[in-house]
Chain A
């Protein structure tokens, strides 16, 4: 702000603001358009880092990698909240201020709009020729021109008020009465604008509801197994702040089959996924179990939640016997895909092995190639499956104490790697059905279920000996369960916002006036003078056409022949090229170009004369 210029009366005196005055000043600044604009630009700039720096909520693994790669930068980014931009204090501050500013701006405007909505159209200006659009029509005598004009304007969805002049206008009874019609339309523009902004507030609340009341869980399910909607069964569970584990709707889903297709024609698309489909059986309390299909864009809806097919992979069946030749582990073990050809990694934890617990870690390759670049898979289908494992013995750590641990990581701090007789690390490469002795007589490792007649307590470790379990290489489905009560309100408010937006951008605000002057009113045969004028408020390319059409309606002799409501009369081809109408406050900017062109011209399609003038 610049200080007021010093005058002869002495130094400038700053107005003094009290506490209330200051608050009022701050509030006015906050709710000003300029502040809103600044906050919008800040919001845009503030959102960008979240797409450049990995986000904790979106990809936690990427955050870990980023921290390792940028040991100097990462702590600073951490302090600034760059790993969680959209929940950071500064980002929240920007959008909350923006919404406060929005509400502060929109509420008073809503009150004004409420008044304006019921106000009468403005009074008719005394000199209509000063308005941007002005026509003079020599209308035929007879008929109530004011009522005709009013009816035509009402059909065009104007709010209309008819103002006969001075009571004496209706001189000879039913003759054309003198007076004016004032009409206004376009309140929808401001209403739409307000609806848009208020719907954004609703959308923000819906987003908050989503964040507080939703939960998201992930679970890996091999074909033939299932899960129930309980926290204990999930691999990850992210609840909103107001979600308690008891709130989860009771349902259970069994995975009966999983069809996966990949591109198999050679070319650059070889191995690209083409179709994923999971066949499931859903059980809800009080309902008969039903068969459903989950595909990538077609989630399963059950119990107020959705179940999504988020991923898939292989869960090779691994059987371990211990030194006492007991089957201590025999179950499908999910290996998580690391690349597009499903080179996968996984972990086997054998808690019940004697004398030591056993752990294995390694890779599964569905179509294996081992060459100088190392072992890897070249195609995602199981064409030549190979399981590569190394082993550890010792104490598996926290899992023994019942603590939650990552099932895909092996904690080897209290374990010792298995070695061959010559001291090199022991490793094994197995194809389905293969089996291999562990070193030091610790037992055996097998890719597949135990052969017929093998002794052991496999059931104790969870493997079921059903028919489909004979497959040594079942697939697994990565399923995501999501419950989000905020999404429907979010959708409703989004749609409302869009409707409001369209109304606010495309509703023209116009005022149209018609004046019938009394020079000939009442006298037989003399044509009354009719003026039609229009004023646009803001951008309006269609005002001239509207005024033209109204003038034509009033000039036509046979009033019953006027075009039906809602349809415009045919465009006047003989009319001179029309400038893009730019009336209203912005029109003055191009005043230079507006003086050119047809300042006065006549249209020739109507039987009576319409004079068109422009200011």
Chain B
């Protein structure tokens, strides 16, 4: 029963990955401009006005730019499909082990990736973030590839230290928070690229490469998008820290012990706190604060990819190697 479900889960992961690949191609086509066709001539005149300011766009076809973004539409629907398959993979994996699907690093990665997609899909319902599609689906696909090829662990019961309801609270919030940081990171990187293009353009030497960036919002817009995501994620990360401390107090008899994972969770918290301060400091807002946020994301990658595997500590539940 458990094993066949785990096998089903793996099949679903592969299916989700192929659908993600389709979504990735569709979003890329959209950014390249090939997936866009001009609509009826009437709103086209507006398109000339709107082209210079791709900041705010309506939820459906762009009224202002008068473009039909078929490729983007394909990207969005395939992302939803992939989310469905991916969620099914996570759920079957959880059922196969009879517990929450984040008991080892493979499962945490699988679940973390599905939360990234889910958060992105929910954001899509409220705002037009289709321009971020490539930069969300791409990392998710990459993460799933790493999960299957490097981190894969057989479905099994939990070690005693993980048998606690705090596993549900602490790790699920950490996952959602990380997912938001991932998307914010994409926005920050695009912001820096866009910022560079804008400065080049202002200097009279428009950038030659990366024409697709013209279809993305201005750097200021991207900066605010990243900030909003981090503003939501930072309290969640704080909660992760506190919930982790409470759990550590119950499991290990101290709420803070400078375990490598604790150290890095703290470092991430401090770096994003620095980001929030930087944003309010004159001379540090804009580009420099984006660098701080990107450093924070680098710390998240270290916390996930390096600390679990290479630093011995109380959090060594990776189940790999």
Q: Do chains A and B stick together as partners?
A: yes
Contact A269 B254 (CB under 8 A): no
Which residues 553-591 in A have Cβ within 8 Å of B in the complex? Answer: 577-580, 582, 586, 589-590
In the complex, A310→B273 CA distance in Å? 34
A287 CB to closest chain B CB, in angstroms? 23
Select which of B160, B267, B311 is within 8 A of A275 by beta carbon. B160
CB distance from A240 to the nearest CB of B (A): 12
Q: Does A23 contact B (CB under 8 A)?
A: no
Given known contacts A269-B154, A273-B159, A274-B157, A497 and B284 CB-to-CB distance under 8 angstroms: no
Q: Are A297 and B166 in contact, CB atoms less than 8 angstroms apart?
A: yes
The answer, among A263, A306, A592, for a CB contact under 8 Å with B53, is A592
CA distance A501 to B242 in the complex (A): 13
- The B-contacting residues of A in range 414-439, CB under 8 angstroms, are none
Q: Is B250 an interface residue (CB 8 A)?
A: yes
A455 at the interface (CB under 8 A from B): no
Contact B270 A308 (CB under 8 A): no
- Shortest beta-carbon distance, A518 to chain B, in Å? 38
- Min CB–CB distance A23 → chain B (angstroms): 23
A596-B50 contact in complex given A37-B284, A44-B271, A263-B156, C-beta closer than 8 Å = yes
CB pair B263–A47 under 8 Å, yes or no, is: yes
Q: Is the CB of A580 within 8 A of B251?
A: no
**A310→B250 CA distance, assembly (Å):** 11
A498 adjacent to B239 (CB under 8 Å): yes
Binds B, one of A14-22, A167-175, A488-496: A488-496
Q: Which of A320-328, A330-338, A479-487 contacts B (4 or more CB under 8 A)?
A: A479-487
Contact A276 B220 (CB under 8 A): no
Contacts of B280 in A (CB 8 A): 33
Cβ A40 vs Cβ B270 within 8 A: yes
Determine if A590 and B220 form an interchain contact, defined as CB atoms under 8 angstroms apart.
yes
B246 and A44 contacting across the interface, CB-CB below 8 Å: no
Bound Cα distance A268, B6 (Å):
15
Inter-subunit contact B253/A501 (CB<8 Å):
no
B50: nearest chain-A partner, CB-CB: A596
| A529 contacts chain B at the CB level, 8 A cutoff | no
Name the B residues within 8 Å of A41 (CB-CB). 270-271, 274, 292
Q: Are A579 and B260 also in contact (CB < 8 A) when A487-B249, A501-B235 are?
A: no
Q: Is the CB of B163 within 8 A of A296?
A: yes
CA distance A51 to B265 in the complex (A): 11
Interface footprint category on A: 35 or more
Interface bits B45-73 vs A (CB < 8 Å: 1, else 0) = 00001101101111100011000000000
* Distance in Å: Cβ of B216 to nearest Cβ of chain A: 13
Contact B235 A579 (CB under 8 A): no
Contact A37 B277 (CB under 8 A): yes
Chain B positions 152 through 173: 1 when the CB is less than 8 Å from some CB of chain A, otherwise 0: 0110111111011010000000
B307 at the interface (CB under 8 A from A): yes
Bits for B229-246, please: 1 = Cβ < 8 Å to A, else 0.
001001100110010011
Q: How far is the CB of A166 from chain B (nearest CB, A)?
A: 41
Interface pair B234/A505, CB less than 8 Å apart: yes
- B170 → A minimal CB distance (Å): 12
B147 is an interface residue with CB less than 8 A from chain A: no
> Which residues 133-192 in B have Cβ within 8 Å of A in the complex?
153-154, 156-161, 163-164, 166
Pair A297/B274 contact, Cβ less than 8 Å: no
Residues on A with C-beta less than 8 A from B98 are: none
- Decide: B55 and A274 in contact? CB cutoff 8 A: no
Binds B, one of A52-60, A125-133, A441-449, A543-551: A52-60
Which of A52, A58, A578, A597 contacts B258 (CB under 8 A)?
Answer: A58
The distance in angstroms between the C-alpha atoms of A47 and B263, with both chains bound, is: 7
Q: Which of A44, A491, A577 contacts B274 (CB 8 A)?
A: A44
A539 within 8 A of B: yes
Q: Given the complex, which residues of B lie within 8 Å of A37, measured CB to CB?
A: 274, 277-278, 281, 284
* Cα distance A273–B162 in the bound complex, in angstroms: 11
Contact A273 B160, CB 8 Å, known A577-B57, A593-B218: yes
Interfacial chain A residues near B283, Cβ < 8 Å:
34
Q: What residues on B are CB-neighbors of A210 within 8 Å?
A: 255
Q: How far does the alpha carbon of A607 sit from the alpha carbon of B33 in the complex, in Å?
A: 43
A272 x B253 contact (CB < 8 A): no
A274 pairs with B256, CB closer than 8 A: no
CB of A505 within 8 A of CB of B246, answer no
The reply to whether the CB of A299 lies closer than 8 angstroms to some CB of chain B is yes
Judge if B212 is at the interface, Cβ distance under 8 Å.
no
Q: Once the chains bind, are A589 and B270 in contact (CB under 8 Å)? A: no
Contact residue among B56, B255, B259, B270 (Cβ-Cβ distance under 8 Å from A580) = B56
* Cβ B153 vs Cβ A268 within 8 A: yes
Contact yes or no, A58 B56, CB < 8 A: no
A579 to B127: give the CA distance in the assembly, Å: 10
- CA gap between A199 and B181 in the complex, in Å: 25
Q: Smallest Cβ distance from A123 to chain B, in angstroms?
A: 27
Q: Is A5 an interface residue (CB 8 A)?
A: no
In the complex, which residues of chain B have a beta carbon less than 8 angstroms from the beta carbon of A409? none
**CB closest chain-B residue, reference A86:** B258
Given A577-B63, A590-B218, CB of A299 within 8 Å of CB of B250? yes
Check A296 against B161 for contact (C-beta < 8 Å).
yes
- Tell whether, in the assembled complex, residue A539 and residue B227 are in contact, meaning their CB atoms are under 8 Å apart: yes
Inter-chain contact A48/B63, CB cutoff 8 Å: no
B235 engages A502 (CB within 8 Å): yes
A589 to B258, CA, bound (A): 42
Indicate whether A36 reaches chain B with its CB closer than 8 angstroms.
yes
Assess A296 versus B160: contact at CB under 8 Å? Given A37-B277, A52-B311, A590-B55: yes
Min CB gap B205→A, angstroms? 20
Whether A308 contacts B274 by the Cβ 8 Å rule is no
Would you give the shortest CB distance from B180 to chain A, in whole angstroms? 13
Contact of B161 among A48, A297, A487, A579 (CB under 8 A): A297
Do A207 and B256 have beta carbons less than 8 Å apart? yes
Q: Please report the C-alpha to C-alpha distance between residue A71 and residue B227 in the assembled complex, in whole angstroms.
A: 47
> In the complex the two chains form, what is the Cα distance from A51 to B312 in whole Å?
9
Enumerate chain A residues within 8 angstroms of B161, measured Cβ to Cβ: 296-297
CB distance from A384 to the nearest CB of B (A): 24
Enumerate the 5 nearest inter-chain pairs by beta-carbon distance, A residue then B residue, closest first: A297-B164, A51-B260, A593-B53, A40-B274, A296-B160
Assuming A51-B313, A501-B238, what are 16 further A-B pairs, CB within 8 angstroms? A44-B267, A44-B299, A50-B258, A51-B311, A57-B258, A85-B258, A207-B256, A272-B156, A295-B163, A306-B253, A308-B253, A497-B238, A501-B234, A577-B57, A586-B220, A596-B49
13 contacts between A and B (CB under 8 A): A55-B258, A85-B258, A216-B254, A267-B154, A275-B163, A295-B160, A296-B161, A299-B250, A310-B253, A498-B235, A577-B59, A580-B221, A586-B224
User: Which residues of A approach B to under 8 Å, CB–CB?
Assistant: 33-34, 36-37, 40-41, 43-44, 47-48, 50-52, 55, 57-59, 62, 85-86, 207, 210, 216, 263, 267-269, 272-276, 295-299, 306, 308, 310, 480, 482, 484, 487, 490-491, 494-495, 497-498, 501-502, 505-506, 539, 541, 577-580, 582, 586, 589-590, 592-593, 596-597
